Structure 1
């Protein structure tokens, strides 16, 4: 796990909430503290859909599906005092990176007026080899650097 401080917060938030840059990530959880606390669970509610065809193959909604709602909850005269967005890779992206991992995480957080991104990895079983963690850390670091967020 590695933590990266976002130095260009305005550009990062614009890309996160208004572009398609993060759209393929799945949403695990979103927490927003504004005048009240908002908790959004990214678990897909299959009872909501009329037919099986409408239910996607994933158990979690994508950032593309949820970002508009999150943007609406965050916009206003004042920035939330805190937020946390937990994103994860989809099955295809995860299996392309490693067969030992069930998913990779990207945690985005605003706390004490500082925005950070941290990485995480959920292994399928116990292992002492953390080389896959380092690969994910490096990919996220390159991604954040490429878009000049860090």
Structure 2
């Protein structure tokens, strides 16, 4: 796990809420505090969608909704003349991207060993912190995949000109 402070919050928020940059991540949960606090559970409610809808939206094998389908909702809550008091978003790699990431890592792990690879975004006290994390289905002292995931997130931010500072 690594923590990064996002230096240019305005630029990052534009990337997060106004572009498709994070749309391929799954939105597991979120909380946005403005005049009231909104809590969003990213679990897909299967009873809301028909089988045809799930297939058309490519949701049939997912537990969580892609961020791209919640981005406008989050933007609607956040936009306005006042900055939110705080927010917290938990984004997870899609199963397909997780498999690719694990394969590229060169670690001994398989997709069956990992529940999820996460980016946690927390805005509070005018600071935006991103922490990385992996949820394993087994115990291991091998941190190869953790290091690789941290490095991949750092590279992702640099590739998209999102200035970050590692936290100690």
TM range (shorter): over 0.9
1:71 corresponds to which of 75, 91, 95: 75
- Aligned residue number for residue 160 of structure 2: 147
Summarize the alignment of residues 1-150 of structure 1 with structure 2, pairs less than 5 Å apart: 1-49=1-49, 51-55=50-54, 56=59, 57-98=61-102, 99=110, 100-149=113-162, 150=164
Distance 1:138 1:15 in 2: 20
Deviation of 1:147 (Å): 2.0
Deviation of 1:3 (Å): 0.4
Give the SS at the match of 1:24: coil
Contact 1:95–1:101 (8 Å) recurs in 2: no
Distance 1:90 1:45 in 2: 17
Distance 1:77 1:92 in 2: 38
Give the SS at the match of 2:64: coil
Deviation of 1:139 (Å): 0.3
What TM-score comes out, normalization by structure 2 length?
0.86
What's the C-alpha RMSD, in Å, of the aligned pairs? 0.9
Count of residue pairs brought into register by the alignment: 149
Distance 2:100 2:160 in 1: 23
What TM-score comes out, normalization by structure 1 length?
0.96
In the alignment, structure 1 segments of 5+ residues that lack a partner are none
Give the SS at the match of 2:47: helix
Deviates more, 1:96-105 or 1:114-123: 96-105
Give the SS at the match of 2:134: strand
Deviation of 1:52 (Å): 1.0
Per-residue CA distance 1:70-89 (angstroms, 9 max, x = gap):
00000111011100010000
Give the SS at the match of 1:20: coil
